[in-house]
Amino acid sequence: MRIIIAEDHPMFRGGVRSLLATTDDLEVIGEASDGEEAVRLAGELEPDLILMDIRMPGMNGIEATERIKELYPSIEVLILTMNQEDQSVFTAMRVGAKGYVLKDADEEELLQAIRMVGSGRAVFGTGIAERMMHYFASQAPQAAAALPEEEAAGRRVGGHELLRDPAFAELTRREAEILARIASGDTNAQIADHLHISAKTVANNVSNILSKLQVMTRHEARKLVEQSRQQQ
């Protein structure tokens, strides 16, 4: 597995690099000290996974993750940070990170998390999973209701609350926006024009949406949205 480490502290970055060097299946192909560099290297090196710190100078890890998932949906992101605030965990997952592990995790826990996220599974570090369940249960409905209508559309499809529906749980905000346009019958070109992104980015996101929803076509994705609406 090809990995980029995005971390602004050289000593910690070096420690992770040394740990991964002891394995046969994990290879560090690049290192970034801020979010902008992480986005750039993601495009240049095409890694399988990025280990992403949150607090970095300039563009932080949350912003970098969102940008990377928009541009390169197939790249997985595992957050590796000291920040265990509920809002940070929730936001990281919302923008597309597949896992969240604290820096004080032991070596085996970190290696296992990397391999799990690299294989497409979601993972939370010790103690994070239970807090996430409580957070989503108590905060997600209020968070969605409190958003301006235009921003809330990124978490809804035709008024359907994606945060409350397991079928859409893995979609990022951008993927939810694109699914909303698909449900309305828009073409990729129309979606790109509406969201001010390239047609290639739309196509990449559509592919990711179909994969996450486990369907083969846009028509099947629309049907899934319609079925969810009927169940409300």
Express each pLDDT in 180-195 by its tens digit.
888 888 888 898 888 8
pLDDT, position 214: 76
When pLDDT is averaged across residues 209-232 and rounded to a whole number, the result is 78
Structure tokens at 2: 């090809």
pLDDT above 70 as % of the chain? 78
Q: Please give the structure tokens belonging to residue 59.
A: 């563009």
Q: Which of 57, 53, 92, 99 is nearest to 76 (CA)?
A: 99
Return the beta strands (E) in 68-137 as ranges.
76-81, 99-102, 123-124
Look at 123-132, 152-161, 181-190, 198-207 and tell me which has the smallest mean pLDDT: 152-161
- 116-135 mean pLDDT: 74
> Tens digits of per-residue pLDDT, 134-160?
655 554 455 445 444 444 444 455 444
CB 65 within 8 A of CB 77: yes
Q: Is residue 168 scored above 50 in pLDDT? A: yes
Domain with CATH 1.10.10.10 in the chain: 147-227
CA 217 from centroid of its chain's CA atoms: 22
> Is domain 2-131 classified as CATH 3.40.50.2300?
yes
Query: Predicted confidence band at 123 (pLDDT cuts at 50, 70, 90)?
Result: confident
Looking at residue 88, its pLDDT comes to: 73
- Residue 140 vs residue 1, higher pLDDT: 1
**Four-way CATH pick for 147-227: 3.40.50.2300, 1.10.10.60, 3.40.718.10, 1.10.10.10:** 1.10.10.10
Mean residue pLDDT of the chain comes to 81
Instruction: Find the mean pLDDT for residues 59-87.
Output: 87
CA-atom Rg of the chain in angstroms = 18
- pLDDT digits over 11-68, tens only? 999 999 999 999 999 999 999 999 999 999 999 999 999 999 998 988 889 889 989 9
Instruction: Supply the pLDDT for residue 209.
Output: 85
- The per-residue pLDDT for 132 is 59
> Which position has the higher pLDDT, 7 or 58?
7
The model carries a pTM of 0.60
- CB atoms under 10 Å from CB of 149, counted, come to 7
CATH 3.40.50.2300 residue ranges in the chain?
Answer: 2-131
